[in-house]
Amino acid sequence: MKIGIVCYPTYGGSGVIATELGKNLAQKGYQVHFITYNRPIRLDLFMENIYYHEVTTPSYPLFESLPYESALASKLVDVVKYHKLDILHVHYAIPHASVAYLARQILRSFGIEIPVIVTLHGTDITLVGKDKSFEPVVSFAINESNGVTAVSEFLKEDTFGNFHITNHITVIPNFVDTQRFRRHSKDHFRKMLTTKGEKIIIHTSNFRKVKRVEDVVRVFKIIHENMPAKLLMVGDGPQRKPAEDLSRELGIFEDIYFLGSQDPVEELYSIGDLFLLPSETETFGLAALEAMACGVPVITTNAGGLPEVVQDNLSGYCCRVGDYECMGERAVSLLEDEEKWAVFSQNARKRAEDFSMDNVIPIYEELYRKMLET
């Protein structure tokens, strides 16, 4: 089977999942073609059965912004025609779903039929997609797709609640490579960061407002008042400066490391004692899942799809959005109790295994087969 995958080639969850899906399928013998404007972050081009097609957008003085959608549609037509793809799987609805529809219509003029699967990831529905100016196009493109998947029940219900959807949506959760993401012995690494046996707290995100990065700092302040601790802030974005300013204001800046974007992150998770994700909303919470796979309990909010991943009072705790005092108290109670932490750590790893590649990717494979049979 020859599969075309369209995604954003960035650190975001949609790009990571699309890339890992394609790599795993290639290892199983599928021929996988990535079609995007840059090489995806986690994609190694020197892999058997992996092909990369770069979308280039011509510049012209007339255009205020480059016509990416037209360039992508043209590239899809070209790749499908000349590489004889069997299926197109596009990740993130905007603009990929409507572009795939356009490409499919053009291909029909050449007598070529190809099924299109759209995977909804989150902000394409919950944030950007809720702009009323996008609604008619997004709804139409989703309804015209041969298959539609969402990464959580929350996202599925949110899609039905905010768009005029008549198509069926299948929930296929995000997944984690449990061989890559597992707790490794990194004592030497830990000793580089800690000198007094401090607890290591980790946060990973793109530092947007929805991640409530300043709440991470406030939760850490509570932890810091009760025990020696260090905070690793992994990622970058517009809320980094406010978080840095707040940490200075609270007098804890010296115990916080702003590390910027990092890959691989599993080495950091392997020395972590707790993962903080106080987001205003998450359609799934991939970063939390990856931390859990490394045996790191998670303190998060009860928003969006997070409770579908983090089991409250088993693999971590879920508090109300903005209730950093609750998160801080739960964090301290867990970090102070070594036996309880060990149980939560084991539970976190066990929960992550429910979302392993071996459990989730076969669901995609079955969907592909179903699309080709209809």
Once rounded to an integer, what is the mean pLDDT over residues 86-108? 95
14-23, 184-193, 338-347: least confidently modelled range: 184-193
Q: How many CB atoms lie within 10 A of CB 162?
A: 15
- CATH architecture assigned to 2-175+356-373: 3-Layer(aba) Sandwich (3.40)
175-207 pLDDT, tens per residue?
Answer: 999 999 998 876 667 777 777 789 999 999 999
The residue type of 256 is I
Question: Is a pLDDT exceeding 90 seen at residue 309?
Answer: yes
Please report which residue ranges of 147-256 form alpha helices under DSSP H.
Answer: 153-162, 187-193, 213-226, 240-249
| Percent of the chain whose predicted confidence (pLDDT) is above 70 | 95
Question: Is a pLDDT exceeding 60 seen at residue 367?
Answer: yes
Once rounded to an integer, what is the mean pLDDT over residues 142-154? 96
**pLDDT band, very low/low/confident/very high, at 318 (cuts 50, 70, 90):** very high
Which tokens is 250 given? 């609270």
Burial code (b: 16+ CB inside 10 Å, e: under 16) for 342-369 equals eebbebbbebbeebbbeebbeebeebbe
Q: Which long-range CB contacts under 8 A does 323-329 form with residues at least 24 apart?
A: 324/215, 324/218, 324/219, 324/222, 324/278, 325/222, 327/215, 327/219, 327/222, 327/276, 327/278, 327/299, 328/218, 328/219, 328/221, 328/222, 328/223, 329/222
Question: Do 199 and 335 form a contact (C-beta atoms < 8 A)?
Answer: yes
Q: What's the pLDDT score for residue 63?
A: 62
**pLDDT band, very low/low/confident/very high, at 11 (cuts 50, 70, 90):** low
How many Å apart are CA 212 and CA 34, to the nearest integer? 33
Q: What's the pLDDT score for residue 15?
A: 84
How many Å apart are CA 333 and CA 225, to the nearest integer? 13
Q: Is 216 helix (H, G, I), strand (E, B) or coil?
A: helix
Question: Is a pLDDT exceeding 70 seen at residue 361?
Answer: yes
Question: Is a pLDDT exceeding 80 seen at residue 112?
Answer: yes
Q: What's the pLDDT score for residue 341?
A: 97
Residues forming CATH 3.40.50.2000 domain(s) in the chain: 2-175+356-373, 187-353
Question: Do 174 and 153 form a contact (C-beta atoms < 8 A)?
Answer: no
Question: Is a pLDDT exceeding 90 seen at residue 132?
Answer: no
Closest CA to 17 of 211, 210, 176, 235: 176
Q: How many CB atoms lie within 10 A of CB 69?
A: 15
Q: What's the pLDDT score for residue 186?
A: 65
Closest CA to 163 of 192, 194, 197, 139: 139
23-79 pLDDT, tens per residue?
Answer: 999 999 999 999 998 888 778 778 899 999 999 887 766 666 678 899 999 999 999
Pick the CATH number of 187-353 from 3.40.50.720, 3.40.50.2000, 3.20.20.70, 3.10.180.10: 3.40.50.2000
Which residues, in sequence order, are bridge partners of residue 31? Answer: 2
Q: What's the pLDDT score for residue 267?
A: 87
Q: What's the pLDDT score for residue 192?
A: 76
How many Å apart are CA 349 and CA 204, to the nearest integer? 18
Quick one: 313 exposed, middle or buried, by C-beta within 10 A (0-12, 13-18, 19+)?
exposed
Question: What is the DSSP code (8-state) at residue 247?
Answer: H
206-245 pLDDT, tens per residue?
Answer: 999 999 999 999 999 999 999 999 999 999 999 999 999 9
Q: What's the pLDDT score for residue 58?
A: 76
Q: What's the pLDDT score for residue 87?
A: 97
Q: What's the pLDDT score for residue 237?
A: 92
Please report which residue ranges of the chain form alpha helices under DSSP H.
Answer: 13-27, 68-83, 93-108, 123-126, 135-144, 153-162, 187-193, 213-226, 240-249, 266-269, 286-293, 324-335, 338-353, 357-373
Q: What's the pLDDT score for residue 64?
A: 66
